[in-house]
Amino acid sequence: MNLISIITPSYNSINYINHVYRSICQQDYHHWEWLVTDDCSSDNTFKLLLELSQKDSRVKVFKNEENSGAAVSRNNSISKSNGDFIAFIDSDDLWLPNKLKKQIQFMNENKYDFSFTSYELIDENSVLLNKTVDNHDIQYVSYNDMLRKKATLGCSTVMLRRTAFDDISMPLIRTGQDYGLWLKLLKTGVNAYLISDVLTQYRILPDSISRNKIKKAKRQWQIYREIEKLPLLKSIECFCFYAWRAVFRK
């Protein structure tokens, strides 16, 4: 069986991190390791993670020397991982029990290196918000598709084949680092293939950046210009696609 390295950044996640762990343990694919890097939480998140690691040897816990952001935390965990595949789950999201098994079978049977799944939104109390994302009728997205945000590619839905990429580190920006990584990987010529089944639950919190459209738009522009270094006219073109989809996507 292929080993899956599950990557999670944590910061003041005491209310949800145990739920994340349970959703991983409830997977019907059991050959995994969970690598969590805590970003100097001020609550008991790190203490709880240490307790979990003492009970379960598959749980590997690390801590940043100073608060550095999710990109640094994820990159630290990735650098210490041993898996054939890399999967991501954030510290407040959840997986359905067949997520890992279905995704790794999908990738191995089709020889795909990059995949993602549809997901549904939940609130802070795990109540469904009756909204599903990335369930549209597409087979895959390319680099140019992703520049135009043809799909969202929720971080907690993505799985990567490690040997397919030379560098899986995220760009060191405070927000949108996962989107920056998807672009970097897709730029190599691979495509990201969609499993249209809902296999992930993405939690929307009151202070989530997902609620702040202005911050998201600024982040998008920053990635176009500073990370991807697109020419001005190309950035404007892609931003118009992004804005249109942000407004009209179902």
Instruction: Kindly report, residue by residue over 84-97, the tens digit of the pLDDT.
Output: 999 999 999 999 99
Mean pLDDT to the nearest integer, 161-169:
96
Is 187 a residue whose pLDDT tops 90? yes
Task: State pLDDT tens for residues 20-71.
Answer: 999 999 999 999 999 999 999 999 999 999 999 999 999 999 999 999 999 9
Is 73 a residue whose pLDDT tops 60? yes
Mean model confidence pLDDT for the chain? 93
What sections of the chain are H helices per DSSP?
17-25, 45-55, 70-79, 99-110, 143-147, 177-186, 213-222, 232-248
Is 151 a residue whose pLDDT tops 90? yes
C-beta of residue 58 within 8 angstroms of C-beta of residue 161:
no
Q: Quick one: 4-206 is in which CATH superfamily?
A: Spore Coat Polysaccharide Biosynthesis Protein SpsA; Chain A (3.90.550.10)
pTM listed for this prediction: 0.93
Beta bridge partners of residue 80, listed in sequence order: none
Mean pLDDT to the nearest integer, 81-86:
98
Which residue in the block uniquely carries the two structure tokens 């109540």? Answer: 127
Token readout for 189 is 């010529």
For the chain, the structural domain boundaries read 4-206
Question: Which pLDDT score is estimated for 205?
Answer: 86
pLDDT band for position 173 (cuts 50, 70, 90): confident
Q: Tell which wins on pLDDT, 98 or 1.
A: 98
Task: State pLDDT tens for residues 188-214.
Answer: 999 999 999 999 999 998 766 555 678
DSSP label at residue 220: H
Angle, helices 17-25 vs 45-55, to 10°: value is 20
From 149, 158, 169, select the one nearest 223 (Cα to Cα).
149
pLDDT band for position 135 (cuts 50, 70, 90): confident
Question: Which pLDDT score is estimated for 244?
Answer: 84
Torsion of CA 184, 16, 208, 158, to 10 degrees: 20
Is 80 a residue whose pLDDT tops 60? yes
Question: Which pLDDT score is estimated for 120?
Answer: 97
Mean pLDDT to the nearest integer, 128-141:
91
